[in-house]
Structure 1
Amino acid sequence: MSFSEEATSSVPLLSEKHSGIPDFLLEKAKEAKAEVFNTRTKPQSQRNRLPVIPQGVEESAFFKAIDELREQLGSDHVEVNDKPLKDGCVNPNTHDMMYVLDEEELVASAVVYPSSTEEVQKVVLWANKHGIPIFPISMGRNLGYGGAAPRVRGSVVIDLGKRMNKILDISPEDYTCLLEPGVSFFALYDAIKAKGYDHLWIDVPDVGGGSVIGNTVDRGVGYTPYGDHWACHSGLEVVLPTGEIIRTGMGALPNNNTWQTFPYGFGPYSDGIFSQSNFGIVTKMGMTLMPNPGGYEAFIEIIRPLRISNILENVAQLRHVIQTIAVRGQPRSTYYTGSGPIPLDVVRRAAAATPVGDCAWAYYGTAYGPPHIRQHKLAIIDAEFKRVAGARRVDAEVDMPADEYFWARDRVAAGVPDIHELRWVNWVPNGAHVAFSPVSPIRGADAERLFQLARRRHDEFGIDLFPAFCVGLREMHLIVEIVFDRADPERRAAAMACLRAMIDDAAACGYGEYRTHLVLMDQVAGTYNWNDGALMKFNEKLKDALDPNGILAPGRCGIWPRRYRNRGWEMTKASGERSEGNGVGPLPPP
């Protein structure tokens, strides 16, 4: 497909494709796609390419093994990655569409599409037999953190979303559901609405097109009181790296009727080892649903007691106004064509021309409950925030037009999926993003320290600073989105250098990342090094016990199996930005 053809091609609907868009978001999706192509200067690759064979596997043996897998799954469900790499709006399952290294650095050799847990098991047993690394994805929408790219170049990606996308159960009485990996937030929302379950809400992240399981297992968050997605899951079905299938929690009880309602079951609670790890492939998950409720430094200090006392009930956001400008989808050149980070006075002038008005920070929060309860809470919140000089409340019903970003945040806080958020990637041509995501207490001093740390490094590398504080019950995440031109090697290198510097700076101050990009996982894991790296040594023991052949997602979250360990695969600040090591050790004897 040519550049112009892709720019004008239709957006798939949810009724047509598991990864499609709901009808109510179609026009918005078309507008967002047009904005992306308006800023694109990098043409899509059209060159012929050979599949990348993983290290430690002979080419002839690899293709023979692929033929064997085709016999097991059907030839239509095993694809060798020998086509030009396509990114843009198509959400590829072969690489990272928002690559921060060279686009050929982290690519799959092939993609397989199982239709059931039993077929996932077949793929895992096949991988063990041939010593081929595999990398499972739900839908590959982990944008800004590596997307669908495997950490080990040439791994076979297991795409769980295409053929394993069933909603197995929605219980309107228990407020729960049971899902497969290909169920997106869009799909779950549509199914609940189609059944007329208006008393059920789902909690959605900023962009609703990703997998509920994928987001939850990676400990993603949303913005209602159910915003901690991992805390809201209940029971897993997992294929272990050696091919065994287990269920955790109440799912381990045959003919159970409480899988989705009680997460613990009996005995040791093992679910945690399957989040942000490479210890198993989650193929089913129970999830709780939310009942319909009926409806800066100084700021941080105000937010904390309101949040702990649940006057502020959702995951609140305090965002710098530059994101309010950028999320309108217009390129940076609309406002500023100079070099270096955009001056704050330029940002403030641009903000003054919007319905939000001139300000430095914008707070987005939500009150839930019957109208009189909401009004009581909002009056308390308003009084507290106005203790800050210059703070003002925007009357959304009067001041905010229907297409203003505020309403996207309003919908997300009400459990309605949206796609508005990523419009800020259009800030630069060929826009991509990668995030710095440290966790801290909810204190003004911590907010100031992290903000200044990020400001100093962004100024050093000539990057515009996009900070947002997401406030939980007793902790907050600072999410700094670095937006860069993925077609420009210098800007990719600047983004990486800035991130690596901030990770070390934050760790020196006692702040750790809660989630990170594939190529930064080794560095982030290395900051959790209390007691001579005791936690990583424990994780490595688990990895070697559960995955003796080292085939499942080697390197994910910095956990390397024995065959790869200490062979130069780890990517750190000192190692350079090459993802591959120096060979792979032999398979252990059977």
Structure 2
Amino acid sequence: MTDISSLLVQPPPSWPEKYSGIPARLADIGNQTREKIYAGRSLPRVAPRKQGEELPVLPPDITRERFNEAVAELRKEIGEANVELNDKPLVDGWYMEHPNTHDAFHILEQDDTVSSATIYPGSTEEVQTTVRWANKYLIPIYPISMGRNLGYGGAAPRIRGAMVLDLGKRMNKVLKIDPDNCSCLVEPGVSYFALYEAVQATGYPLWIDTPDLGGGSVLGNAVDRGVGYTPYGDHFGCHCGMEVVLPTGEVVRTGMGALPGKDGEDNPCWQSFQYGYGPYNDGIFTQSNFGIVTKMGFWLMPATEHTSYLITFRDEDQYPQIMQTIRPLAINKVLGNVPQLRHVIQELAVTGKPKSHFYDGEGPIPREVIRKWAKDMPCGDCSWVFYGTVYGPDDFRKGQLDIIRREFGKIEGSRLMLPEKLPQDHYLHSRVSVCSGVPVLRELDWLNWLPNGAHLFFAPIAPTSGEDVKKLFELCRKRHEEYGIDLFPTLCVASRESHVIVNLVYDRSSPASKKAAYDCLRAMISDAAAGGYGEYRTHILFADQVANTYNWGGGALMKLNETLKDALDPNGILAPGRNGIWPERYRGKGYEIFPGDQRTSSLPPHINA
């Protein structure tokens, strides 16, 4: 076991001293979280690179002489310190001190999806310079905002040896907060922590919307179509206007931003109306590799009164009835926000205690063991826990809660609890914060479930119907039992669909644990597609498989995406392979990874050999 005392000499990075740091209000929690994560770690903090391998790893088809020439030129253009070679030992770190050199939650070898260098542009103009440079040298670049998309590949490039374009380090300003329009304009390096603190500093009665963890990029999460939990929980749906650098170096502004403002100012409607005039292009810059978003506008929610609650459900097989109850309430906006239905195993995991505290046997923790421990927790002996929040004046919230209590009360054994009836360390209090736009760190605690905890997400979309959710849940249960993995299902419920988020936790020090998670996820993607269900988001190494399931009309959608890619990025330099979209230069040359592929590296077999 690594001596954690040597790792914790310096406190975690703090905001605003570091753009990606933890605000003072969470400093103690950050220290405690890091200590718990390192206490369960047996991997060395610093991993040496492969013996005899010349560093940095090169992009495909680039000689070292050409690479060195290219690096020297870019350093001259944007500054020596702003191009950093990836030639040092690899450090996985943790959420608040993550790498931008590789996937911290590596599912294959740690140095599989490793970069050759990291580029730190300081402005849209320097992004343009970098893109034109990449076209000159045909070096693939992978833009990240902050690289905290952990569980989906983090900061890693899809092609080994590509360069990471880290937008967050030097482009991290909140450019505008408009209290009357209830909107803001941000750069890629603005985290939810930073935006929240910036709004609080103004004194304006405004809320942001945050996902479960507050350290990620506001812009990056929206571009990846992530979700939060207030009525503004659709992050891309609540964006308004983009500035985008195209793969050939030109800059465009979308929506009303395409109309010049008076005397060179921004158009005053840029953050007011999403569509502008003509075709709506914003969507093609989400979950794609068609451009680099350098500025993005968002709508902010006026502060309002709110009440959070949880409802427990007694029996494992009640979830179809629960979903049938949820559906009309969600469609009629009675639920108020984006609520969650979580399996009770997560009540154990969010305590931050390891699985071994609850069960020291082999295989998945048995259902009866979960219920035994839950019995002594505030939730009691139950199978499902529903977390929700209602918003508005007292009378309005009371009316909503009355309807919610009445409808869910029809499910035998259900119980509704309010925050004041639960101890302060219960997870509901964290949901109170998140559901009122206050970013937190609590969601990291379940990483302690296994030593060297890491995770992948299986994230299909289902209608909010009991029948559909049952099909997905049963296929997940079957595959988790087959591969010996604990099942952590959560449903994030919107009006007419549910994001079915299944968290596969694995020990990244164990090849067997990693392989089980890898194979289980591949199997579930195939199973879901066979039933007509597809993921809304996935890890970089599973993108080809997921994109290939969207194959109606003989793959018409991918043909369209490839046409756009080749037109916008003729040299194929921008994030090849991201979300399964490959430019002509790489397409069909062995980079794609599909089910049944037994390779142990993301590189094509002929290159890896």
State the TM-score, normalized to the length of structure 2: 0.94
1:306 and 2:306 correspond: no
Q: CA deviation at 1:46?
A: 4.3
SS state of the match for residue 28, structure 1? helix
Native 8 Å contact 2:256 2:270 kept in 1: yes
**Which residue of 2 is the match for residue 501 of structure 1?**
523
1:517-549 Cα distance to aligned partner (Å, 9 max, x none): 000000000000011101101100100000000
1:230 and 2:236 correspond: yes
1:258 and 2:289 correspond: no
Structure 1 residue ranges (4+ consecutive) displaced by more than 6 angstroms after TM superposition: none
**Which residue of 2 is the match for residue 425 of structure 1?**
447
SS state of the match for residue 204, structure 1? coil
**Which residue of 1 is the match for residue 225 of structure 2?**
219
Native 8 Å contact 1:430 1:485 kept in 2: yes
1:240 and 2:240 correspond: no
Match of 2:279 among 264, 268, 285: 268
Distance 2:516 2:189 in 1: 35
Match of 1:53 among 55, 58, 63: 58
Q: Compare 220-229 and 389-398 and name the one that shifted more.
A: 389-398
Distance 2:108 2:508 in 1: 8
Match of 2:432 among 406, 410, 429: 410
Distance 1:3 1:107 in 2: 26
Q: CA deviation at 1:582?
A: 6.2
Distance 2:391 2:369 in 1: 36
SS state of the match for residue 91, structure 2? coil
1:343 and 2:366 correspond: yes
**Which residue of 2 is the match for residue 293 of structure 1?**
304
Note the residue ranges of structure 2 that are not aligned, 5 or more in a row.
262-266, 307-318
1:386-408 Cα distance to aligned partner (Å, 9 max, x none): 1111101123202x121211111
Native 8 Å contact 1:169 1:179 kept in 2: yes
SS state of the match for residue 158, structure 1? strand
**Which residue of 2 is the match for residue 317 of structure 1?**
340
Distance 2:8 2:408 in 1: 44
Q: CA deviation at 1:574?
A: 2.2
Distance 1:306 1:187 in 2: 34
Distance 2:92 2:507 in 1: 13
Distance 1:48 1:100 in 2: 17
Distance 1:515 1:293 in 2: 31
Q: Compare 240-249 and 3-12 and name the one that shifted more.
A: 3-12
**Which residue of 2 is the match for residue 10 of structure 1?**
11
State the TM-score, normalized to the length of structure 1: 0.97
Q: How does 1:344-363 map to 2 (within 5 A)?
A: 344-363=367-386
Distance 2:439 2:523 in 1: 34
1:196 and 2:196 correspond: no
1:64 and 2:86 correspond: no
**Which residue of 2 is the match for residue 383 of structure 1?**
406
Q: Name the Cα RMSD after superposition.
A: 1.3
Percentage of matched positions with identical amino acids: 57
Distance 1:291 1:395 in 2: 24
SS state of the match for residue 79, structure 1? strand
Native 8 Å contact 2:304 2:392 kept in 1: yes
**Which residue of 1 is the match for residue 316 of structure 2?**
none
Native 8 Å contact 2:46 2:92 kept in 1: no
1:309-342 Cα distance to aligned partner (Å, 9 max, x none): 1110111100000011101111000010111110
1:217-263 Cα distance to aligned partner (Å, 9 max, x none): 00000001111101011111000001111111111111110111111
Distance 2:321 2:462 in 1: 16
Note the residue ranges of structure 1 that are not aligned, 5 or more in a row.
585-590
Native 8 Å contact 1:567 1:582 kept in 2: no
1:149 and 2:172 correspond: no
**Which residue of 2 is the match for residue 536 of structure 1?**
558
1:92-120 Cα distance to aligned partner (Å, 9 max, x none): 11111111111110011000100000000
Distance 1:396 1:224 in 2: 17
Native 8 Å contact 2:4 2:35 kept in 1: no
SS state of the match for residue 184, structure 2? strand
Aligned residue pairs: how many?
582
The code of the aligned residue for 1:346 comes to V
Native 8 Å contact 1:3 1:43 kept in 2: no
Distance 1:283 1:582 in 2: 36
Change in CA separation of 1:93 and 1:2 when aligned onto 2, cut-off 3 Å? farther
Native 8 Å contact 1:235 1:248 kept in 2: yes
**Which residue of 2 is the match for residue 30 of structure 1?**
31
1:449 and 2:466 correspond: no
1:73 and 2:74 correspond: no
**Which residue of 1 is the match for residue 288 of structure 2?**
277
Q: CA deviation at 1:293?
A: 2.3
**Which residue of 2 is the match for residue 111 of structure 1?**
118
Q: CA deviation at 1:488?
A: 0.6
Q: CA deviation at 1:352?
A: 1.4
Native 8 Å contact 1:55 1:583 kept in 2: no
Native 8 Å contact 2:462 2:497 kept in 1: yes
1:448-491 Cα distance to aligned partner (Å, 9 max, x none): 11111100000000000000111101111110000000111111
